[in-house]
Amino acid sequence: MDASDTDVLAFHLAMADPDPGLQVWLADADGVTNSAPLTNYLAHVLPLAQYVAVPWEAFPTVSRTQIVAMGVRSPAQKNAEVRGVRFTHWPVVVTTEFPHAPNTNQYGVVLYNPGQDVIEVITISNTTAATLTNVRIQLLQEYAETTYWWESSPHGPSQWSEKTRRGDRLCGMFEYNWSNVTIPAGGRLVLTNTYTIPEGKLVDHTRTALVEGGDWYIFRNYAAWAQLHVVLSDSAGDAVADVVAAGVYGMDDDYDMDDDGLPDLWERQYGGCDTCMDPGADLDGDGYTNLEEYEAGSDPTDQNSYPGHISSYTVHLAYTNGTDLFPRAAAQQSNYTAAACGWMIARYLNGDSFTQSQSRIYADNTNCPHHNFEITPRSIAGWMYRNAPPQYYFAARYRWTLDDALKETVYWMDYVPPGGKKTPVYIVCNTNWTYKVVRGFETDKAPYDGGYGITTGNVFSIYGLWLNDPSIGGLGYDRYVAASEMSNIYLASEADGRYWLVAEPPRDADELQQAEVFVDGTSMRLEPSPPHAGLGRYLRLLAMGEKPRRRRAKRWSSDAGYDLYETVPPALKSDAGFTSAFHRASVTNCYLVNAGEGESTYLLAAGSDRGPMKTYYVMKLDTNGAFEEATWVADPEMYPPVCFEAARWMALRRSGFGTVERDWLVNSGFEENPGGSEPVIPEPWVAGGAAGSYSWASRSGNWGMAIIGWGSRDGYFYQDVGAAGGEDYSFLTWMQRDDDFTSATVEVKLEWFDAGMNRMGEVCSNVHDRLDSSWQLMRVDGKAPAGASRVRCTVWCGGIAMNAGALKCDDALLLSGSNRAIVLDARLIYDPQVDVSPFYPRWEILLSTPAGIATSTVGMFQPQLDQDSDGDGISDRYELYAGCDPEDFYSAFRCQGRASSSPQGIILRWNSASGRTYSVWYKTDLREPFELKHSGIEATPPVNELVEPMPQQRAFYRIEME
């Protein structure tokens, strides 16, 4: 092309991983190529798209009349994004400098906090041969990037929404003007402006009705890139030059310029500057990172100051050289937890010579019908005394507060009885009397000092306790619980507020009384775990199935690894059983429990080997990322034991409206359509009036149907499907109405036709008054009349007022027969008064049925799922996890393989389920074990296909759902 009458080569450039050595090159038809460093024309190469203008002087030997190619070259072999390439005139060149900047980010760009001054020195050069007179110069402070935030609402689906938009003005004095300016030919003009970044106004949530319940700022800029937009216009108002990004700077909104979780002031206090401390470094060598020390309020330069405590004292009974030697037992019945605890401690003290069964122990004790027919504390204490070796004495004790009960628990565990072994304590949890064994603790000092009192100052702190929970086998049995979490586990044993425990105190009454005086005279603190707010936010996003937006220096991994491990208390890190389980896991699956319920909301992070089928540990954290408790196993288990698909299946069965959501509509999500200019009509749907399919109308996927307010006075769409007379049908669709869309009526209809397409009647539901700006499921139910052979599923909207809004519809369904219920929502809930463990919350399933909205709860202990309803050799539990129908013999997780010449190799095919991942195992000799060949293969429902190279000999493959 001939570019001889232009001044510059201009384009937009962005680079996700910037290479400062990036070059731009230009080539002509004679094979001459010139290149130039881009940093000659850009202050910095950035991930942010910037406008670049390279003058012809950069390409001195290239023929301007024969340009054939241009490009950019990265010496570091990194990718760059280039768009909007053109040759153009460039009468004015604008450059900006930012003197006296307080800091720079990782790209070398100046960075400012709220309240700081952005001093801008702008140089405008006139490259023409004519003087520019009577020029108006407009300077604007704008956002240079579009950013997003995760918007959630109880009234509709969550979504990413725009937080900032490129080109939007900043807060404060974002505009400054100079008038009647003259710039001589070939000359330049230097201007200085100061923009103060507003500190904003703090909104105190205690004085407002904010739903989120937290303070926030208004009139403050978001953390984002900012740009200087310079516009030059002549006396007639016509633009002489419009430079969108004459300069770029960064803004922070939390006084953490490098966005590493360490506030600038804190870094300046301990490191000497705003950005010179690494959050992952351990400045004083005390085993805690700088970030952990900041979050805990400790001194990162003092080895004796670290999160939570200054010193540590640990008792972990029957745990020797990293090996757990404590006898293990799970309760054989729900009211056998005391019998299981008694068996464990009797076996611990007597060794293998103790052989009584749990049923024998239960029969030898007194139980209470008011407490789940569980053994009474006094009865099991007497039984322990009779069955323990000589010189051990057990007593049932109660206290009126949790603090006092825990104070006695660790005190008597630290006491060494005449028999010579420290003994665990039973705690009796909740009024249904679920016994648990406390067999270890971590405190800041020894609770018992060889006499009767606390070592120093009559005050100590509890950090955590080890428990065995016999009400659960496997995950949930071995537990380490942060002290502050015990209020959710050790609930009052009696309605009157008493806390029962069974301990091994002195038998001598005077000795016991003196000890009680010392115990009562001590003070105890239940220390909280330090928060990890960034990790908490990230895990919440993973639990919701969303990929978080990663800001500059924040990098969290969804795999089990360093970040999650940093929340683990030091005492638990010394537990070889837990650390072995933790490091055997490769993937973390996250679950949000009691969502939207304030302080009762928590996160479960389950570490597994490739997927939920092999889970080694589960950690409970609060929404700030603070550790609350953990459980682990040596042999991996499926977790959760009831997956969503199984809970959904059970809830649908209970509803009486079937277990299979079979949709008879074709293209029910409107995704298959011809594309092109909108609106489009997706086959086999029929649409008329103001109805059509638009990309902006979707609830899920990329397309939805909409009836617009700026078209006809009415709109409709429908699909005809074969029907059977006498059969029950339900037509459902999700709908959302814009606030500015108005109409007289909105109807969802089932219309019946005979074989000759003669209309036989209809069932209509007018949903007009139920619609609002949130997505809601609307439905109509009816029975096809005798002789009907077609059903028409219709959405009709009439009396539309001309406006800018729309009625949106998506994800339609036609259900028939007994299968006419659909899941509206599902979440995990936990109530310590009802549920056996926070590791096993219940599923709460919200259903839409012909009888109305129904709620069903499904617990995690469902032995009926282990049966094989269809006799295909696979339990219902695993069939549901695999996405199969447990009531259909021919629906099973199966793999097929065949040799292929094109593509050449072995083609493996298996049925797959949404959200699952798969492993492929391989061997050539049946006598040898399988070897893992591939893992983490994501599902492509309904079938996955994998092409393997043709083996040199006979081969065997196994497909495993992870």
Task: Quote the DSSP letter at residue 421.
Answer: S
Give the H or E element holding residue 349: helix 337-350
Q: Which of 293-297, 651-655, 735-739, 856-860 has the lowest mean pLDDT?
A: 293-297
H-type helices in 476-602, by residue range?
509-520, 533-543, 562-565, 570-573, 576-584
* 559: pLDDT strictly greater than 60: no
By three-state DSSP, how is residue 554 classified? Answer: coil
- Model pLDDT for residues 718-769, shown as the tens digit of each residue: 999 998 999 999 999 999 999 999 999 999 999 999 999 999 999 999 999 9
- Token readout for 112 is 């400012």
- Phi then psi for residue 622, to 5 deg, are -80, 175
- Token readout for 250 is 């960064």
Q: Which of 33-42, 188-197, 262-271, 927-936 has the lowest mean pLDDT?
A: 262-271
The rounded distance, in Å, linking the Cα atoms of 719 and 691 is: 13
Give the H or E element holding residue 880: helix 876-881
CA distances from 367 to 174, 268, 339 (A): 76, 64, 11
The rounded distance, in Å, linking the Cα atoms of 567 and 529 is: 8
CA distances from 542 to 358, 587, 604, 611, 842 (A): 42, 12, 11, 14, 20
Question: 575: left (phi > 0), else alpha (psi -120 to 50), else beta?
Answer: beta
The rounded distance, in Å, linking the Cα atoms of 3 and 11 is: 15
**Mean pLDDT of the region 867-888:** 88
Provide the CA 726 distance to its chain's centre, in angstroms.
46
Q: How confident is the model at residue 555 (pLDDT cuts 50, 70, 90)?
A: very low
Q: For residue 641, which amino acid is it? A: P
- Across the chain, how many H-helices and E-strands are there? 13, 54
- Token readout for 121 is 């020195």
pLDDT higher at 441 or 533: 441
Q: Cα dihedral angle (620, 621, 627, 629), rounded to 10 degrees?
A: -20
The rounded distance, in Å, linking the Cα atoms of 380 and 363 is: 11
- Phi then psi for residue 290, to 5 deg, are -60, -40
pLDDT higher at 208 or 802: 802
The rounded distance, in Å, linking the Cα atoms of 231 and 54 is: 20
* 690: pLDDT strictly greater than 60: yes
Nearest to 665 by CA among 717, 710, 719, 585: 719
List Cβ neighbours of 556 (8 Å cut-off, separation of 6 or more). 534, 535, 538, 548, 563
- Token readout for 263 is 């506030």
- Model pLDDT for residues 321-380, shown as the tens digit of each residue: 778 889 999 999 999 999 999 999 999 999 999 999 999 999 999 999 999 999 999 999
Instruction: Describe the crossing of helices 509-520 and 402-414 by its angle, rounded to 10 degrees.
Output: 130
Task: Quote the DSSP letter at residue 423.
Answer: -
Cβ burial, residue 409 (10 Å; 0-12/13-18/19+): buried
By three-state DSSP, how is residue 483 classified? Answer: helix
Cβ neighbours of 800 (radius 10 Å):
26
Q: How confident is the model at residue 255 (pLDDT cuts 50, 70, 90)?
A: confident
* 273: pLDDT strictly greater than 80: no
Can you give the pLDDT at residue 693?
Answer: 94
Can you give the pLDDT at residue 560?
Answer: 37
Written as one string, the DSSP assignment of 36-64 is EEGGGT-S---SS-EEEEEEGGGSTTS-T
The rounded distance, in Å, linking the Cα atoms of 250 and 144 is: 9
* 229: pLDDT strictly greater than 70: yes
Q: What percent of the chain has pLDDT over 70?
A: 92
- Token readout for 642 is 């009831």
- Token readout for 364 is 């030898």
| Contact between residue 749 and residue 794 where contact means Cβ atoms under 8 Å apart | yes
Q: Which of 195-199, 446-450, 828-832 has the lowest mean pLDDT?
A: 446-450
Task: Quote the DSSP letter at residue 336.
Answer: -
| Contact between residue 246 and residue 122 where contact means Cβ atoms under 8 Å apart | yes
The rounded distance, in Å, linking the Cα atoms of 42 and 234 is: 27
The rounded distance, in Å, linking the Cα atoms of 194 and 191 is: 10
- The pairs formed by 928-932 with CB atoms below 8 angstroms and a separation of 24 or more are 930/956, 930/958
- Model pLDDT for residues 14-67, shown as the tens digit of each residue: 998 899 899 999 999 999 999 999 988 888 898 988 888 899 899 999 999 999
Can you give the pLDDT at residue 753?
Answer: 95
CA distances from 222 to 9, 48, 112, 168, 554 (A): 34, 16, 12, 12, 17
Provide the CA 184 distance to its chain's centre, in angstroms.
59
Cβ neighbours of 634 (radius 10 Å):
11
Can you give the pLDDT at residue 500?
Answer: 95
Can you give the pLDDT at residue 816?
Answer: 87
Q: pTM of the full predicted structure?
A: 0.62
| Contact between residue 462 and residue 442 where contact means Cβ atoms under 8 Å apart | yes
Instruction: Name beta bridge partners: 923.
Output: 956
List Cβ neighbours of 925 (8 Å cut-off, separation of 6 or more). none
Can you give the pLDDT at residue 497?
Answer: 94
Written as one string, the DSSP assignment of 228-256 is EEEEEE-TTS-EEEEEEEEEEEEE-SSS-
* 168: pLDDT strictly greater than 90: yes
- Domain spanning 686-820 has what CATH number? 2.60.120.260
**Mean pLDDT of the region 684-692:** 93
Can you give the pLDDT at residue 562?
Answer: 43
Q: What percent of the chain has pLDDT over 90?
A: 44
Can you give the pLDDT at residue 214?
Answer: 54
pLDDT higher at 57 or 202: 57
Q: Which of 283-297, 422-436, 459-473, 696-710 has the lowest mean pLDDT?
A: 283-297
The rounded distance, in Å, linking the Cα atoms of 667 and 814 is: 11
Nearest to 68 by CA among 11, 36, 30: 30
**Mean pLDDT of the region 208-216:** 52
Task: Quote the DSSP letter at residue 292.
Answer: H
Written as one string, the DSSP assignment of 627-686 is EEEEEEEEEEE-SSSS-HHHHHHHHHHHHTS-S------SSTTS-----SSSSB--TT-E
By three-state DSSP, how is residue 211 classified? Answer: coil
Q: For residue 107, which amino acid is it? A: Y
pLDDT higher at 218 or 461: 461
Place of tokens 């949709």: 663
Class of domain 313-526: alpha beta
By three-state DSSP, how is residue 347 classified? Answer: helix
**Mean pLDDT of the region 685-713:** 91
Can you give the pLDDT at residue 660?
Answer: 64
pLDDT higher at 582 or 574: 582
Q: Which of 171-185, 437-451, 504-518 has the highest mean pLDDT?
A: 171-185
Instruction: Reduce the secondary structure of 791-820 to three states and give it as a string.
Output: EEEEEEEECCCCCCCEEEEEEEEEEECCCC
Residue ranges of domains in the chain: 8-90, 96-251, 313-526, 533-637, 686-820, 894-961
User: How does the average pLDDT of the chain come out, rounded?
Assistant: 86
* 309: pLDDT strictly greater than 60: no
Question: Is 96-251 CATH 2.40.10?
Answer: no
**Mean pLDDT of the region 234-258:** 85
Q: Which of 212-221, 628-637, 666-675, 816-825 has the lowest mean pLDDT?
A: 212-221
For residue 949, say if its preceding peptide bond is cis, omega within 30 degrees of 0.
Answer: no
The rounded distance, in Å, linking the Cα atoms of 228 and 293 is: 39
Written as one string, the DSSP assignment of 76-95 is T----EEEEEEEE--SEEEE
Q: Are strands 81-88 and 33-37 parallel, antiparallel or unpaired?
A: unpaired
100-136 core/surface letters (b: 16 or more CB in 10 A; e: else)? ebebbbebebbbbbbebebebebebbbbeeeebeebb
Give the H or E element holding residue 380: helix 377-387
- Token readout for 203 is 């909104």
List Cβ neighbours of 546 (8 Å cut-off, separation of 6 or more). 150, 158
Query: What does R_g of the chain's alpha carbons equal in angstroms?
Result: 35
Can you give the pLDDT at residue 506?
Answer: 85
pLDDT higher at 704 or 557: 704
| Contact between residue 143 and residue 164 where contact means Cβ atoms under 8 Å apart | yes
Can you give the pLDDT at residue 551?
Answer: 27
* 423: pLDDT strictly greater than 80: yes
**Mean pLDDT of the region 240-258:** 84
Q: How confident is the model at residue 450 (pLDDT cuts 50, 70, 90)?
A: low
By three-state DSSP, how is residue 296 classified? Answer: helix
Place of tokens 């460039």: 90
**Mean pLDDT of the region 837-864:** 88
- Model pLDDT for residues 812-850, shown as the tens digit of each residue: 999 887 777 788 888 999 998 888 899 999 999 988 888
Q: Which of 70-84, 126-140, 266-280, 886-900 has the lowest mean pLDDT?
A: 266-280
For residue 506, say if its preceding peptide bond is cis, omega within 30 degrees of 0.
Answer: no
